Structure 1
Amino acid sequence: MATGHSEIDGFNQSAAQFNVPEIGSGIGLIDQQKEKMIGEKVYREVQAKMPTIQNPWLEDQLFSVFSHILSQTQLQQPIGLVVINDPQINAFAVPGGLFALNLGLLNSARNMDEVAGVMSHEIAHVTQRHYSRSQEAFKGQGLLALAGILVGALVASQADGDAGAAVMLGSQAALLDKQLTYSRNQEREADRIGMQYMYASGYNPQSMADFFEVMHRATSRLSFMPDFWYTHPLTSERMSEARLRANQLPVVKPKLFNQDFDIIKWYSRVLSGQTTEQELLSVAQQNNFAAQVGLAAYYTDKHDYKAAQAALDQAKRSNSLHPLLVILQTDVYLGQNQTDLALKSVQSAAATMPEHRALNYKYAESLIRAKQLDRAKAIIQRFLRSNHRDLSGWNLMLQLTNAEPASATKTINVLRHRAEVEYWSGSDEAAIKTLLHAQRISQSNSSLSVTIKARLKQMQQERQYKI
């Protein structure tokens, strides 16, 4: 097993061959099924306690990068990726394949390769089962560390940074002396293996070292250490090792300008409130397409549909078919109750790209508003079948069921879908109570009653699982 000390031998300079330690599924106290249960439970905890962003377009842009890197590993289908509305540079990984990153990371990164470097590092933590191995080595205290990370990130996002840092220090004080060396070795191993993953995926390995330097400069100006520093101890030795490893790889031509990343960055700034109208106007007036899209999103969020339409019209001169522009245009029409125009705006794009979740969910939302419920249901259910944790999908299903005409099963189905929204939002107890109510009123419908009973049993078992 590689410990990740000062070895830079993970690569062959001419062939860039992989050297990833094999971690068997039977190693550690937690098997793969338990890891999945932990991942799902933490997913629900994150949704309940942290300011997550429910935005299918942004989620899917980031997930496509994440999935591309994952294709270099042996991991099974991951639980997913969660985007957190927090200005700090942070990301974390949980067994079972749950990954989370803060919008602050996107705002600090200069290109997608730097984001891919962080994702690759986190993916390596999971492929090497660091969490399970920590739990084995420290007799369960690794679980306490995770709880501390979550609480610290939550407090830091809702209070001043010093309070967040204090919680981080307090929650991990008992672990620090005992775990620091082990943790640093794991971090180096994740750096080394993560760099292999990102290089194999076509990303510039220099960007991992670049982003370490960005984080180092950012934190040197602060009076407190952010969460990322405690969960990912960054030393000068790690920084120099990352640069040496990257230098041993064949050169990957850096992307001097990537409009897709530019759009993601401006859009995330709007979603997180980390930009201003004046800043957006200033950059948009320089014929910057990404800022024009961001300006349209800014005005749409403010329900200033006249200004949003003007920004959309300006952006459309560069690329009228960009999916995010289509989504924003549909939102502008829906915001003005122009349902026919909303349908016309999104229908063609959604049909052309049936795999595009954000476009098709916006199409489904428009169909619900137009009372074309069967068509909307078919679209939503298609995505829920592939990901039963999709909170955006369950919210749409609840919206759709509420819009259905009165029937013998309407109330039961409203309760069922509300329970799923509550469950994946982290309100386990509320979800179970809602399903119990649905079960009581479904006695006369045997098939629905059986379905509800099975789902209720599953929720109750998962809720009782102790991390």
Structure 2
Amino acid sequence: MMQRSPSFPRRAVRLSRRWLTNAALAVTLGTGVPTAGAQSTYQLPDLGSTSASVTTGDEYRLGRAWLRQFRAQTDQWQDPIAETYVRSMLARLQPYSGANERLVVTLVESRLLNAFAVPGGVVGVNAGLFASAPQEGEFASVLAHELGHLAQRHYARRMERVEQTQLPTMAAMLAGMVIAAGGGGSAGIAAMMGSQAAFVQDQLAYSRRFEQEADRVGLEAMAKAGYDPQAMPEMFRSLQKLAALQGGNPPEFLLTHPVTESRISDTQARANQLPSPAGVIDPTYAMIRARALLMLNQDTPAQAMTVLTQEDPPAAAVRYLQALTDAEKTRYDTALSTLDALAQDYPDLSLIPTTAAEIAYAANRREVALERARRVLRLSPNYYPAQWVQAEALLQMAPERAFGVLRDMSESYPEDPNVFGLLAEAAGRSGRDAWGQLARAEQLQLEGSIDTAIRQLDSAGDAAKRDGDYAMAGRIERRRQDFLGYRETMRNF
């Protein structure tokens, strides 16, 4: 169900001294990596050059490098259904925001309230944001604000404000964001600020203007996308109350996005000038929130229900969470019965029958899981969560067929290390040793473990030569040269 596959163990890596040193140079800014084909996907920057301005290419390549480092430093929340939901919300908002990037979403397994966007199109969301945003509009307002930063190219404009800007300094600024986004708290912010008091004061004043611009862009995008713009000032008020309750330890999001009375007033005034749509009862967001709450309260699932029901959610979401809870307690038949009934009531919500497929797989009913997943895919062929369940089931039942499915998925999702991890398993189980080691190397480099990835490629090359597959050996050698370039980039980063 929402449990992590054994192939993807949790990792919590301490920040190195290099990261902390780089972070001392940085000034934080919540600002946004396209998936533009396999070749451009893997291009990373030469960080040794100097530039008086930051190009979109610089932003793209730095964002790619940053994402790999971020994955190495934080616990990722692997939930295809929640990730797909966030991607769909961004797709709904993006056409009206002015942000041009094709976005990559990363979910963080943290109860801290935080979201961020990195230059080049990386959007990150902590599971804690779902817990802190009871309504869909409030959650959407945070994403819309982050898209506003991307659309206005605030990162590039900030760096142009700094004399003699260098790409290594840009990378250091992003490096500092790992601490804040990953939950480093006030110590991380202190490290980013360093002792550059006068410089920081100027940058903070500049970022206040950025925040206002991002609010304006976000509000307009919300209204045009059909969300209620009133949700943004409401979310800000909630954040302000939360900050007051937490005293000197405010939510991570507020460390980089401070909320003031003047900002709330300005946002409220702008929201009042925009249309609010008629309310529509849609349980989708509440169901995704239920998944996040249960993940955050795995040891006390009753607490997830308590939090969810405090905000008077749609009854369907309560039933959905009960089904998830039943599955956690191995009451699989009860869970599946509840979900099947819900699917009858909401036939257009693919997440419901896909959740049933996840639960069937968790119950070791692989044939049932496969059939349920395929039923979804017949109606929604590109629904990633159902593709994932299908691949997992096939891996156990028919590795050869799983390999073909996962090869296709790796083309569609070249920035997803989990897909490459599953592909490595399928290749190994179907007797494709070189392919399996190549896929594992791709997974490792996407997770920031570049040295291990290079060693894995060397092993893959040896396997290809033993098999007499010189075409594969040539492919692996080309990737090895790419990886060596990535390693240099990571070291400079």
Q: Is the 8 A contact 2:342 2:352 kept in 1?
A: no
1:150 aligns to 2:178 (yes or no):
yes
CA distance, structure 1, for counterparts of residue 403 and residue 52 of structure 2: 43
> How far does residue 426 in structure 1 lie from its aligned partner after superposition?
1.9
Q: What SS is found at the alignment partner of 1:71?
A: helix
2:322 counterpart residue number:
295
Q: What SS is found at the alignment partner of 1:82?
A: strand
Q: Is the 8 A contact 2:77 2:109 kept in 1?
A: yes
2:277 counterpart residue number:
252
Q: Is the 8 A contact 2:340 2:356 kept in 1?
A: no
Q: Aligned match of 2:90 in 55, 66, 74? A: 66
Q: What SS is found at the alignment partner of 1:122?
A: helix
Q: What SS is found at the alignment partner of 2:134?
A: coil
2:190 counterpart residue number:
169
> How far does residue 170 in structure 1 lie from its aligned partner after superposition?
3.2
Q: Is the 8 A contact 1:168 1:227 kept in 2?
A: no
Identity among equivalent positions (%) equals 24
> How far does residue 386 in structure 1 lie from its aligned partner after superposition?
2.6
1:329 counterpart residue number:
356
Per-residue CA deviations over 1:284-308 (Å, capped at 9, x if unaligned) read: 9x993323322333454x4x42x13
Q: Aligned match of 1:351 in 378, 381, 388? A: 378
> How far does residue 272 in structure 1 lie from its aligned partner after superposition?
2.3
Q: Aligned match of 1:104 in 109, 119, 128? A: 128
> How far does residue 142 in structure 1 lie from its aligned partner after superposition?
5.3
State the AA in 2 paired with 1:250: P
State the AA in 2 paired with 1:225: P
1:393 aligns to 2:419 (yes or no):
yes
Q: Is the 8 A contact 1:49 1:154 kept in 2?
A: yes
Instruction: Map 1:389-428; keep pairs closer than 5 Å.
Output: 389-404=415-430, 406=431, 410-428=432-450
Q: How many residues matched?
A: 424
CA distance, structure 2, for counterparts of residue 167 and residue 391 of structure 1: 27
2:22 counterpart residue number:
none
Instruction: Map 1:179-328; keep pairs closer than 5 Å.
Output: 179-223=203-247, 224-255=249-280, 257-273=281-297, 276-279=300-303, 288-300=315-327, 302=328, 304-305=329-330, 307-320=331-344, 322-328=349-355
1:419/1:254 Cα in 2 relative to 1: closer, same or farther (>3 Å)?
same
CA distance, structure 2, for counterparts of residue 451 and residue 76 of structure 1: 32
State the AA in 1 paired with 2:172: L
> How far does residue 53 in structure 1 lie from its aligned partner after superposition?
0.9
Q: Is the 8 A contact 1:113 1:203 kept in 2?
A: yes
Per-residue CA deviations over 1:44-67 (Å, capped at 9, x if unaligned) read: 122111121121111001100101
> How far does residue 196 in structure 1 lie from its aligned partner after superposition?
1.6
Q: Structure 1: which 5+ runs fail to align?
A: 1-26, 157-163
Q: What SS is found at the alignment partner of 2:275?
A: coil
TM-score w.r.t. structure 1 length? 0.84
State the AA in 2 paired with 1:289: A
Instruction: Map 1:363-402; keep pairs closer than 5 Å.
Output: 363-371=390-398, 373-374=400-401, 376-402=402-428
Q: Aligned match of 1:116 in 133, 140, 143? A: 140
> How far does residue 79 in structure 1 lie from its aligned partner after superposition?
4.1
Instruction: Map 1:424-439; keep pairs closer than 5 Å.
Output: 424-439=446-461
CA distance, structure 1, for counterparts of residue 267 and residue 239 of structure 2: 14
Q: What SS is found at the alignment partner of 1:420?
A: helix
CA distance, structure 1, for counterparts of residue 178 and residue 160 of structure 2: 21
CA distance, structure 1, for counterparts of residue 217 and residue 368 of structure 2: 50
Q: Is the 8 A contact 2:370 2:389 kept in 1?
A: no
> How far does residue 122 in structure 1 lie from its aligned partner after superposition?
0.7
Per-residue CA deviations over 1:441-467 (Å, capped at 9, x if unaligned) read: 323322101211222222222332244
Q: Aligned match of 1:54 in 73, 78, 93? A: 78
CA distance, structure 1, for counterparts of residue 52 and residue 315 of structure 2: 51
> How far does residue 281 in structure 1 lie from its aligned partner after superposition?
6.5
CA distance, structure 2, for counterparts of residue 311 and residue 296 of structure 1: 4
TM-align CA RMSD: 2.5
Per-residue CA deviations over 1:219-268 (Å, capped at 9, x if unaligned) read: 1100312322221122211111100001111233344x431111011111
Per-residue CA deviations over 1:156-213 (Å, capped at 9, x if unaligned) read: 4xxxxxxx22332232243532311011111111111121222221211111111111
CA distance, structure 2, for counterparts of residue 261 and residue 334 of structure 1: 24
1:226/1:63 Cα in 2 relative to 1: closer, same or farther (>3 Å)?
same
2:38 counterpart residue number:
none
1:35 counterpart residue number:
59
Q: Structure 2: which 5+ runs fail to align?
A: 1-50
State the AA in 2 paired with 1:432: I
1:340 counterpart residue number:
367
1:99/1:146 Cα in 2 relative to 1: closer, same or farther (>3 Å)?
same
Per-residue CA deviations over 1:313-332 (Å, capped at 9, x if unaligned) read: 13432325653343343334
1:88/1:372 Cα in 2 relative to 1: closer, same or farther (>3 Å)?
closer
**Which has the bigger relative contact order, CA under 8 A and spacing at least 6?**
2
Q: Is the 8 A contact 2:219 2:232 kept in 1?
A: yes
TM-score w.r.t. structure 2 length? 0.79
